[in-house]
Amino acid sequence: MSHPKSIIQYAALPYRVVDGHVEVMLVTSRETKRWILPKGQPEKRLKPYEVAAAEAYEEAGIMGSVDKDAMTMFASTKRLKNGTELPCTIKVYVLKVKKVLDAWPEKSERERRWFSPGEAAMVATEAGLIRTLLDFGAKWL
């Protein structure tokens, strides 16, 4: 089976403001339990920002309003079930969280947590994600 040389994923950067301080939500990846943004592959019937919002619901149980334009993009790797790693471009869409659900599709498979952007950058392991979180946090200072 042949794979594309590079894949694209659309990620949500979920945030809320509590007492004047911005917080971002990260979820754990299924396999390695790294802290990541909710994200998924392009879908024919959905626009990129709609994919990001749908993934935020499925992976983190959150709903809100998502920006139609990507805030940024960064290079990453996507690890397939067979262990193969593919280069991946992640386009990030900011999502203002309006509702946090108690039950959601992937609740049993992932952990979700609110962080300050700085804390999120410290637990994240991907350089592009760390930069994205710090850039996002800087907009709120």
Active site residues: 58
The residues that bridge with 110 in the sheet, in sequence order, are: none
Please tell me the distance from the alpha carbon of residue 125 to that of residue 80, in angstroms, as a whole number: 18
Fill in the amino acid letter for 14.
Answer: P
Place of tokens 């040389």: 5
Count of other CB atoms within 10 angstroms of residue 100: 16
In this structure, what token pair is assigned to residue 135?
A: 């850039």
The answer to whether 29 and 120 are in contact (CB under 8 A) is no
Question: Which residues, in sequence order, are CB contacts of 58 under 8 Å at separation 6+?
Answer: 38, 40, 104, 105, 106
